[in-house]
A and B are shown apart, each in its own frame.
Chain A
């Protein structure tokens, strides 16, 4: 299937799905981080310059740390997310889904220099657009992945109607399709729901609203309601 879910296999033998984050959302996160970093730089200059030569020395060190380690510190200490990433709902993990560590974070952030070349992250953007997991050069070398930090949505309410078994034995995929349709039934426009339910005319024997109702009944039966 053509989608952005990246499956990682655990030692327990199950596959876990991670959704890779693409260019626009990562660019937004970068812009937010850039503004924050810039703000910190300005604050450092304003606060430390009046302290004389000593203050300016301190300022150079602080600006250096801010420019090179802002991302590293946030990623390692704040569960893979800089403030920008957090506000966009994404985070960095290792390729195998485990939390990012010092080495990988340092690699991906130092190599920003290479991603930035020749200018404005051109290499990084091209690499991201060519890569199936939207990795830039630093991600490739560091073995890291930027993914959506999912929060679980509310369980879909499967409309409750009187359950009824389907007249035929349905295969696994067919059952799955019926249940998914029922889960989405409330979010579809009535016209679209009808259109989809009509495809099942051979099964339900009717069309239109009664067709939808039939499918919902089968779905209720399939998930075990009696």
Chain B
């Protein structure tokens, strides 16, 4: 069949599909009730067929390009994933995330070790040899921390006024989630970035906590951090785990190619990051609006903090059990 005849025969179908796709793009027009919608899969497969024919018969380039574009747009419409995003989020929070963390427990524990190991080690080191603190932090930094948690302060944490809780909330969001993202993303460099950031943060936090403990600022410091630490530290460990997973996919791809292993690992890691975002937003909220308050006795704050730790642990350990599939 020659080209002009071919075009004459099928022109009507192509135009129908073109118009329908046009209407789909222009979302204000309701294309959904159109009867073309019902015929769309058929039209699309026809165009695919025509494209194959046009290529095989060496019809002109322009025709092949036009059919290629038409088939591409049809492909886009037919195979785009359509799922209710809200339902997905709820399902992810209730089931998906804790199940995922348990499934990735190996990298989780590895990241936890890399973070809490240096933290605990530094804490004890500073108890034994207090001067070590100054080789981790500069003297002005140390003084700043001492001022923040000094027992004669009215408010805990960074200096603030009554209306500034929201201000600190913004700072925590901006700073902490940024740290979480970087801990994840630098894992792409064979895991080295995540490794470094986990250990680094573990060392710094362990040193600060150890130093303040050594000075005896116990109730001010611990009653401040106990609340949000459950969400914040766990989130940092999980973002490190997600980063390590990327790195491990490159180091030990198993029986897959490295690229394939990386793509598959990234698809899982990014779901961990969704959970990290959730955790860090909660942590920032607690840190800004609860941790800083001195309206309650330290005992109350320890109790609430303990409850929050219990919540996080049992959430990750128990939620979604039996619904893993």
In the bound complex, residues from chain A placing their C-beta under 8 Å from that of B152 are: none
> Among A29-37, A57-65, A81-89, A200-208, which stretch is in contact with chain B?
A57-65
Which residue of the partner chain, among A18, A59, A224, contacts B72 with CB atoms under 8 Å?
A18
Which residue of the partner chain, among B4, B163, B185, contacts A54 with CB atoms under 8 Å?
B163
B270 at the binding interface (Cβ < 8 Å) = yes
Decide if B48 touches A110 in the complex (CB within 8 Å): no
Q: A10-B48, A60-B174, A152-B65 are in contact. Are A53 and B273 (CB under 8 A)?
A: no
Chain B 130-164 interface mask (CB, 8 Å, partner A; 1/0): 00000000000000000000000000000001011
In the bound complex, residues from chain B placing their C-beta under 8 Å from that of A38 are: none
**Shortest distance from the beta carbon of A96 to any chain B beta carbon, whole Å:** 8
Decide if A54 touches B167 in the complex (CB within 8 Å): yes
In the bound complex, residues from chain A placing their C-beta under 8 Å from that of B2 are: 222-224
Which residue of the partner chain, among B44, B173, B188, contacts A114 with CB atoms under 8 Å?
B188
Q: A53-B167, A54-B167, A152-B69 are in contact. Are A61 and B4 (CB under 8 A)?
A: no
Which residue of the partner chain, among A13, A53, A140, A141, contacts B161 with CB atoms under 8 Å?
A53
Decide if A175 touches B66 in the complex (CB within 8 Å): no
In the bound complex, residues from chain A placing their C-beta under 8 Å from that of B182 are: 113
Which residue of the partner chain, among A58, A99, A106, A183, contacts B270 with CB atoms under 8 Å?
A106
Q: A14-B52, A53-B166, A224-B4 are in contact. Are A114 and B71 (CB under 8 A)?
A: no
Decide if B68 touches A223 in the complex (CB within 8 Å): no
Decide if B273 touches A106 in the complex (CB within 8 Å): yes
In the bound complex, residues from chain A placing their C-beta under 8 Å from that of B168 are: 57
CA distance A224 to B58 in the complex (A): 13
Chain B 49-89 interface mask (CB, 8 Å, partner A; 1/0): 10110000110111001101101100110011100010000
Give A137's nearest chain B residue, CB to CB. B188
Decide if B48 touches A111 in the complex (CB within 8 Å): no
Give A143's nearest chain B residue, CB to CB. B263
Main secondary structure, interface of B, reads helix
Decide if A140 touches B263 in the complex (CB within 8 Å): yes
CA distance A184 to B88 in the complex (A): 52
**Shortest distance from the beta carbon of B150 to any chain A beta carbon, whole Å:** 22
A98 at the binding interface (Cβ < 8 Å) = yes
Which residue of the partner chain, among B52, B174, B188, B259, contacts A13 with CB atoms under 8 Å?
B52
CA distance A114 to B2 in the complex (A): 53
Chain A 103-133 interface mask (CB, 8 Å, partner B; 1/0): 1001100111110010000000000000000
Q: A53-B167, A113-B185, A224-B4 are in contact. Are A61 and B174 (CB under 8 A)?
A: yes
Decide if B69 touches A142 in the complex (CB within 8 Å): no
Which residue of the partner chain, among A150, A173, A224, contacts B5 with CB atoms under 8 Å?
A224
Chain A 189-209 interface mask (CB, 8 Å, partner B; 1/0): 000000000000000000000
In the bound complex, residues from chain A placing their C-beta under 8 Å from that of B259 are: 140
In the bound complex, residues from chain B placing their C-beta under 8 Å from that of A150 are: 69
Decide if B81 touches A114 in the complex (CB within 8 Å): no
Chain B 174-202 interface mask (CB, 8 Å, partner A; 1/0): 10011001101110110001000000000
Decide if A10 touches B4 in the complex (CB within 8 Å): no
In the bound complex, residues from chain A placing their C-beta under 8 Å from that of B163 are: 52-54
Chain A 45-71 interface mask (CB, 8 Å, partner B; 1/0): 000000011101111110110001000
CA distance A140 to B2 in the complex (A): 43
Q: A113-B185, A140-B263, A222-B2 are in contact. Are A180 and B60 (CB under 8 A)?
A: yes
**Shortest distance from the beta carbon of B194 to any chain A beta carbon, whole Å:** 10
**Shortest distance from the beta carbon of B177 to any chain A beta carbon, whole Å:** 7
Give B18's nearest chain A residue, CB to CB. A152
Give B1's nearest chain A residue, CB to CB. A224
CA distance A18 to B71 in the complex (A): 12
A selection of 12 A-B contacts at a CB cut-off of 8 Å is A14-B48, A16-B72, A53-B161, A60-B167, A98-B76, A103-B270, A111-B185, A117-B186, A152-B66, A158-B60, A179-B58, A222-B2
User: Which residues of A does B touch, CB under 8 Å?
Assistant: 10, 12-14, 16-18, 52-54, 56-61, 63-64, 68, 96-99, 101-103, 106-107, 110-114, 117, 137, 140-143, 150, 152-153, 155-156, 158, 172-173, 175-176, 179-180, 183, 222-225
Known A158-B60, A224-B4; further 15 A-B contacts with Cβ < 8 A:
A16-B72, A53-B163, A61-B174, A96-B79, A97-B75, A98-B79, A110-B181, A111-B266, A113-B186, A140-B262, A150-B69, A172-B57, A179-B58, A222-B2, A224-B5
